[in-house]
Structure 1
């Protein structure tokens, strides 16, 4: 009987976790982890934080050591998968080789959304997704240089904080009326706007980028208002797009990501998927969701490995996220989609610690906890237990008495 082979496409958080979990689940066959970067699989969230600020090395960000992969007999293969032949059970590689599989895991992740304006091709315009991207930014991020960050989401604000730590003059340009508009309540947006301004960042909202100007290198960002913002470097952080082309060309079902079920199965019984490239129905939120976060990637990867190994492990963990900016740690429990009321514990207009609880029809659905780890633990526990009927009158009482707010 021939040895079975599991091939994992994509060597980031999800891919590395699938590989490790396969061995934990008792998979005795081959494990091949295919990635298009030369480094060992590494943590991505610190790229816009400690790695950009020069506080950590790429080796320190490695998810696991080279010795771990060798000991677990996980083969690391540097290549890009260009095609999946489902009928033959083979993948074609950028090296010209092909590789047979019995089970396939797609962990292809996502890529930065591109800024499509004149001048976007100029030198000095950067995106932030890989260590190589950050290395290019750091090469020109000199104290006193003028950096413009396009996009006031989490990655944009984290990048702004790191660049300030390096001594750069930083301007954040956000197209909507407030930073973090798509993901937080106005009170949370106002808080982050305040702390960034206090740290010396210039924030402009309702700022639509019309063009990037310069000779061979970017020198200014031109806004639709006619204003020009001087720039020695530009970092674009306007969201990400899932890498679904490989799955789509193989005929898998796509809907804002590779569609998976609660066991990480795709529309092909021999193919699972995990991470930023996937979307799935979450009954609690009544919608199909694509989660862009490490905890979700890890949870999906563990379910995918169990499925490959012929076991049943459902994806049940609550979505949660975090962001580090200056001395502020934001921890988010749940998804605030569809909230109709917020309850605040603490004063975001004055303090540097508070919690914003999100309610829908009187039920807690999410919480943004700023420097409030106890509130975060409390909120996760409450949401995990799917407690019903937690209303406005109850939350401040619980928070004040139990969490010391």
Structure 2
């Protein structure tokens, strides 16, 4: 059986390695648009952008590993069409036949439209190695950076820029940072962290347009304010890469729609990672995380070979900003109550999310112990008394 994996990120690498690990001895081909072999993406906006991680540590496998495993790597190759009838993918390197196909296409960052200045020079996104190569020369001490978007990518970019000596202003259109992904209490901790490092955070302010001749020189806000800018980083979210799937007639619903086993509306085509949505606890979700990319890809590999297992993820996430680490367990969607708990050091603490008295998620800033305890409780389906959670005199381990 010839298996083709379209997309060459974390999910692709995990899927291919799992296939070989569980005994698939047929063909495996990975097709990716970038010239590089599969590499980690989270460090791009953190250690790699800062210069603390070399490229060789970013890559997921040594280059010769792929050849040793008999995995064909078609890098620098763009897929143009999935022909489900013929069972092949049309690419810039010619047609690639498949018996089973896995779509691990990832996601693409949102950009500002050209008519409001989104195509000016020194306006950057952070998604791949080329993005970092273009941004790094512009990150010079003393320059004025405006980050548009107060999600994790924007906040991580702001932290790196401050470490490198830039003047940083972050603009968030919503009433507060982290509005879609975290409770106000978590946002308060992160806002305080950034302001302590000199970032000017402007919330509830949308961007009207970017101004400049060939490159950006200022940002005009909708309320009329003008912010000088030598460069801009966009952190305004990502969209799942669904174009090829939609053109091929596959069902798309908040990503490439899969069943609980990772199978799309075509039984010969599967999906995993950022591009894939799946049913989970009565809802259809899509997870943007390394953990999901690995776990879902490995499940798909098992199911391609007949395991018939359903996907039941245990979500976890993290974000590094300055010397602080925010760790997240569970999904907070649908919470109706939060409980805050102080940590043991400065700029540390945790926020515990409940839905109808059930613990569903924990955010922990510089508080690894609270994160681990919360994660174990969520995965075990156990919910400690919120009053005990919020009582700093109760040792966090006793919550178990």
- 8 Å CA contact 1:219–1:230 kept in 2: the answer is yes
By how many angstroms is 1:399 displaced?
8.6
By how many angstroms is 1:317 displaced?
2.8
* Residue 336 in structure 1 maps to residue 355 in structure 2: no
In the alignment, the residues of structure 1 paired with residue 303 and residue 81 of structure 2 have an alpha-carbon distance, to the nearest angstrom, of 23
By how many angstroms is 1:60 displaced?
1.3
- Alignment equivalent of 1:108, drawn from 105, 110, 124: 105
* Residue 386 in structure 1 maps to residue 381 in structure 2: yes
- Alignment equivalent of 2:116, drawn from 112, 115, 118: 118
- 8 Å CA contact 1:260–1:273 kept in 2: the answer is yes
- 1:153-302 mapped onto 2 (5 Å cutoff): 153-283=151-281, 286-302=282-298
In the alignment, the residues of structure 1 paired with residue 126 and residue 390 of structure 2 have an alpha-carbon distance, to the nearest angstrom, of 39
- 8 Å CA contact 1:58–1:131 kept in 2: the answer is no
- Alignment equivalent of 1:304, drawn from 300, 303, 320: 300
Q: Deviations over 1:1-58 (max 9, x none)?
A: xxx2100000001111111111012111010010111111110000000111111122
> Which shifted more, 293-302 or 303-312?
303-312
In the alignment, the residues of structure 2 paired with residue 108 and residue 119 of structure 1 have an alpha-carbon distance, to the nearest angstrom, of 28
**Aligned pairs, number:** 397
In the alignment, the residues of structure 2 paired with residue 397 and residue 223 of structure 1 have an alpha-carbon distance, to the nearest angstrom, of 43
Q: Deviations over 1:324-359 (max 9, x none)?
A: 0011111100111111111111079x9311110000
CA RMSD of aligned residues (A): 1.7
By how many angstroms is 1:297 displaced?
0.9
In the alignment, the residues of structure 1 paired with residue 178 and residue 396 of structure 2 have an alpha-carbon distance, to the nearest angstrom, of 29
Q: TM-score, normalised by structure 2?
A: 0.96
- 8 Å CA contact 2:120–2:214 kept in 1: the answer is yes
By how many angstroms is 1:224 displaced?
0.7
- 8 Å CA contact 1:26–1:309 kept in 2: the answer is no
In the alignment, the residues of structure 2 paired with residue 94 and residue 40 of structure 1 have an alpha-carbon distance, to the nearest angstrom, of 17
Q: Deviations over 1:236-263 (max 9, x none)?
A: 1100000001111111111010111222
Q: Match for residue 75 of structure 1?
A: 72
3-state DSSP of counterpart to 1:276: helix
Q: Match for residue 130 of structure 1?
A: 128
By how many angstroms is 1:394 displaced?
4.0
* Residue 64 in structure 1 maps to residue 58 in structure 2: no
By how many angstroms is 1:311 displaced?
2.0
